[in-house]
Amino acid sequence: MSKNDTLWDLVTEERIAIEDLVAAVDTYLSEPSTRDYRIGHGLVVDLAASVARHGHAYRTMMDAEASEPARRMAVRSALLMSKPTRS
């Protein structure tokens, strides 16, 4: 894994299962303050920081009228753009 690889790259290369990404989204939606989340083999992603850095996802999560599917897709987009680190 290169230091520039995003979760998108790792999912596309099948180095992280899509089910792991879904689990990360579920975790964030149930506990938005989650920081170090283990994903894949030996990788960690800061869920809270990933969403906070992604303007659209952050605004969607702050919108009290945003639907659950809209929140889920916004968080998924933010996480796919994040760069995990080795644990």
Q: What is the pLDDT along the chain (87 residues), one digit of tens a residue?
A: 677 899 999 999 999 999 999 999 999 999 999 999 999 889 999 999 999 999 999 999 999 999 999 999 999 999 999 999 998
Q: Is residue 73 part of a domain?
A: yes
Q: Is residue 25 part of a domain?
A: yes
Q: Is residue 87 part of a domain?
A: no
Q: Which residue range forms the structural domain that includes residue 45? A: 7-82
Domains of the chain: total:
1
Interacting residues of 16 by C-beta distance below 8 A, sequence separation 6+: 7, 10, 39, 40, 43
In angstroms, rounded to a whole number, what is the distance separating the alpha carbons of residues 73 and 87? 26
Q: Is residue 2 part of a domain?
A: no
Q: Is residue 35 part of a domain?
A: yes
Q: Is residue 1 part of a domain?
A: no
Q: Is residue 18 part of a domain?
A: yes
